Amino acid sequence: MIDSEVKKIANSSSEEPQVTREACGSFASEENVRFRPMSTADLDEVMVIERTSFRFPWSTGFFLQELQIACARSILAEVDNKIVGYVLFWLLPGMADVHNIAIHVDFRRRGIARLLLTRVLLAARQQSLTRVTLEVRKSNLPAQKLYESLGFVTSGLRKGYYSDDGEDALAMTLELAT
């Protein structure tokens, strides 16, 4: 039944196949996204993204603390001078640990998170680190797929990791080639 419907649609269509059509929407590239470190002056815009991205967002105070830690790093993504995403991570002996990543709801599914994570991997390689780790909610399948597409593998389960609701986290690790 389904095969005959597919054949009927294929035979009746005079349009070009989808593969030859232009993609819908726009996707991020290094040319149209600007990257820079986060500063305290950015926190109002960052908090809008944080609050719309997470059921239990970090507080402004938590971001302020994170920005004061010596090993902490941050990368903002901007499009047309508007902050559209960020990542916070720590550079530790031998490894980088991703603590928070979020993209503005209007800019999701455009590759910005991938670009931010690529910047994290570059920073880790520049420091000769051999591993990047992160935790992700067990229920956050889109994030897990993104991390897996970059080479991360599940390396453990952290029971009750999220103190706000007790959800488990998957620990994910990417071993960097030396």
d(CA 88, CA 91): 10
Instruction: Tell me if 101 sits within 8 A of 135, measured CB to CB.
Output: no
C-alpha gyration radius of the chain: 19
Write the single-letter amino acid at 52. T
- What are the angstrom distances between the C-alpha of 141 and each of 137, 147, 159, 172? 8, 10, 17, 13
Catalytic residue among 45, 78, 135, 167: 135
Rounded CA separation 116/8 (Å): 44
Does the active-site annotation cover 22? Answer: no
Strands 95-103 and 153-158: unpaired
Which one is catalytic: 50, 66, 86, 147? 147
User: Do residues 48 and 61 make contact, with C-beta atoms less than 8 angstroms apart?
Assistant: no
Backbone φ, ψ for residue 138 (5° rounding): -60, -30
Tokens representing 59?
């507080």
> Known catalytic residue: 78?
no
Q: Mind telling me the catalytic residues?
A: 135, 147
